[in-house]
Amino acid sequence: MEDTVNAEEVNVLIAGGGVAALEAALALQSFGDDRLDVRLLAAEPRFWYRPVAVAEPFALGRVSSFDLSTLAAQAGASVTLGRLVSVDAARRIAYTKPGGAMEYSLLLIACGAVPVQAVNGALTFRGPADTEQIVKLLGEIGEGTVRRVGFVVPFGAAWSVPAYELALMTAERAGSMDVHELELTVVTPERRPLAVFGPAVADVVGSRLEAAGITVYADSLAKVPANRRLVVEPQGTELTPERIVAMPRVGGPSIRGLSGGGASGFITIDKHCCVPGTGGRVFAAGDAVSYPIKHGGIGAQMADAGAAAIAKLAGAVDEAPAFNPVISGKLLTGADPIYMTAHPVGSESFASEVFDSPPWQSEDKVIAKELGEYLARLNGSRTVA
């Protein structure tokens, strides 16, 4: 990574319009350097706060959206609509579609991952677009036409929390509808439910699933050879769910021109979220990165680290702390939520803790240093979840 950028104006391009992108823009603004000209390149004109999408079918939360240009303006940034397709790091040019070429002094890529259907014949839950399908499923359970539901976390899924939330909230809703003959199953490749948070969390979540009557097949893969057939491997157990709800597998954005590109199109970064082979001028954060945990809070922490490194290059700060992740999560259950924290190392964690109330300052599902406070102010409260 270079030491400084010698220019009267530092042109910072942030590719993305989600949590990590806005967190980076707000973090850069907090450094108070007037030389930083920040632009966002976003695929759509609105910012969607998606973490509560899993609660929307149960009327326990609502997905909020905001005009991205308005949010960016408050962060001192402008917005251009388009999608990043390739980078010429030597010439410092980002190629977009539509729009063509955009020059930059420094580039931060936060354009997210791409959800892909992983289980044939299943409802793939990607977020708000699938709310109506879950509402329909709950109606079928209430009517008695569906009595067996399987929830699948496929190999390569970025984040398993929604599978457990959907299963637990479905069990809670069935109980409130006086439906008692309901078989709910979760199949996951994790060694234990939410093993990424460490043993303390896995113990609590496992107990909550058991108490709800949900059968869990851990360290397992699901195959669907035919309609209403689900084979659990390697056990060879065959289930006959009437409905299957699966999490998506995710792929990276596959940005051409990045010599440090990781597997499946994800972007490799160093401890300061700098992309190798780009002359120290390109950074990346969020789900686009080849980090094993895909979570908004982790993405925001990457964005903060990348923004600090950019600010140091611009001469706005003297030190840039390295990315040091702490994962914080809120598991919705339909009753009392479970709050969880851990320090991840790869795909596992240590120092995991479980709380009955949030150990942080809000009820948000995604803890973002800059963006959380900003969205809370827009909503006139301490929380947007």
Q: Enter the tokens of residue 154.
A: 């496929």
179-233 pLDDT, tens digit per residue, is 989 999 999 999 999 988 889 999 999 999 999 999 999 999 999 999 889 999 9
Give residue 346's region: left, alpha or beta (phi > 0; psi -120 to 50).
Answer: left
Q: What pLDDT does 166 receive? A: 97
Average pLDDT, the chain: 90
Q: What pLDDT does 358 receive? A: 86
Q: Which residues are within 8 A (CB) of 154 and not within 5 positions of it... i.e. 6 or more apart?
A: 118, 119, 189, 221, 222, 246, 247, 248, 249
Tell me the chain's radius of gyration from C-alpha atoms. 21
Q: Enter the tokens of residue 172.
A: 């809670």
Q: What pLDDT does 146 receive? A: 97
279 neighbors 285 (Cβ within 8 angstroms): no
pLDDT higher than 70, residue 173: yes
**Which residue type sits at 334?**
G
Question: What is the model's pTM?
Answer: 0.91
Helices and strands of the chain, counted as H and E runs: 7, 23
The alpha carbon dihedral of 277, 278, 281, 286 has a sign of negative
- Residue 385 pLDDT grade (very low, low, confident, very high; cuts 50, 70, 90): very low
Q: What pLDDT does 7 receive? A: 59
Phi first, then psi: give them for residue 318, nearest 5 degrees.
-95, -30
Q: Partners of 211 in the beta sheet?
A: none
Report all structural domains of the chain as residue ranges with CATH numbers, in order of start.
10-113+252-323 (3.50.50.60), 117-249 (3.50.50.60)
57-69 pLDDT, tens digit per residue, is 999 988 888 999 9
Helix (H, G, I), strand (E, B) or coil at 368: coil
Q: What pLDDT does 379 receive? A: 61
